[in-house]
Amino acid sequence: MAEVLICCYYYNMLTKPLIDTNPYLRVREKYRKALIKNVSSSTAIETGATVESVARMLTKGERPIKKPQDSAR
């Protein structure tokens, strides 16, 4: 019996996209806000920028100012 349940579970997981099975992803505005929050916090940790500045770049489409890199020579 357990094999049948596991089989059905995996079949449903493979045939339905996550956006259809996860109720938190169905509301587009909430999904967009959560995505920006997640990406901006991860990017801030990696780059050292503030979460707010990364979120602003993502929402307003701003591009960061790139600093010139020092020569390796």
Which pTM value belongs to this model? 0.55
Domain definitions of the chain by residue range: 21-63
Nearest CA among 10, 29, 26 for reference residue 18: 26
How far apart CA 53 and CA 45 sit, in angstroms, is: 12
All residues at 6 or more sequence positions from 63 whose CB lies less than 8 Å from its CB, including other chains? 57
pLDDT truncated to tens, each residue of the chain (73 aa)? Answer: 555 555 666 665 667 787 777 887 888 888 889 899 999 999 999 999 999 999 998 888 776 666 656 655 5
Angle between helices 28-47 and 51-60 (to 10 degrees): 130
- DSSP class of residue 66 equals P
